[in-house]
Structure 1
Amino acid sequence: MASSTPLQGTELVDCARANAKQGIETAALQCGYGNDLNTFSRELKTACEQMNLQVKELSELITDQEMILQMGTGEIVAPDTASEL
C-alpha cells in the first residue's frame, strides 16, 4: 500500500529497497512521492547518506540475495527430512 505522506529516513530506505525491483516510478509512488521523481531521488540520497550507505542508484538497494532469487540461479540446500538435521 502506498504511503499517504512522503516517507523519510530509514522508513524511506526500507520502502525504496522493497520496491526497487519494480523501478523508480513504482518506488516513488509507494514511498509517498507520487510522480515527483526528483524529490524522491534527493530524499532517498539524503536518507542513505544519513545511514552511511553509499548509493548512487535505486538498483543498488537490491541485495545480492534478492538478485539471486530474481535470477533463479540460487540453489536451496536443506536436509531431506527433519530427522536429518
Structure 2
Amino acid sequence: MASSTPLKGTELVDCARANANQGIQTAAYQCGYDDDLNKFAQELRNACESMNLQVKELTQLITDQDMILKIGTGEIIAPDTSSQL
C-alpha cells in the first residue's frame, strides 16, 4: 500500500529498497511521492547521505540478500518418486 504522505529518512530508504525492482516510478509512488520523481530522488539521496550510504542509483539499494531471496522463490524441481531421476 502506498504511503499517504511522503516518507523521509530510514522509512524512505526501506520503502525505496523494497520497491527498487519495480522501477523508480513505482518506488516513488509507494513512498508517497506520486509522480514527483525529482523530489523523490532528492529526498532519497538526502536520506542515504544521512545514513552514510553511497548510493547513486535506486538499484544500488538492492542487496545480495534480496537477490538470493528472489532467486529462492523459484519452482522446486524434483522427481515424482525416489526411484526416478
Consecutive unaligned residues in structure 2, runs of 5 or more:
73-85
The 4+ residue runs of structure 1 with deviation greater than 2 A are 68-72
Letter in 1 for 2:18: A
The answer to whether 1:51 aligns with 2:15 is no
Report sequence identity in percent. Answer: 76
- Between structure 1 and structure 2, the one with the greater Rg is 2
Secondary structure of the corresponding residue to residue 59 of structure 1: helix
Distance 2:65 2:10 in 1: 20
Residue 37 in 1 paired to residue 37 in 2?
Answer: yes
RMSD of Structure 2 on Structure 1 (CA):
1.0
Tell me the equivalent position of 1:5: 5
| Structure 1 position 71, deviation (Å) | 4.4
Cα deviation for residue 37 of structure 1 reads 0.4
1:65 to partner: Cα distance: 1.5
User: What do the CA deviations read for 1:8-49 (whole angstroms, capped 9, x no partner)?
Assistant: 000000000010111100000000000000100000000000
Aligned residue number for residue 27 of structure 1 = 27
Q: Partner of 1:67 in structure 2?
A: 67
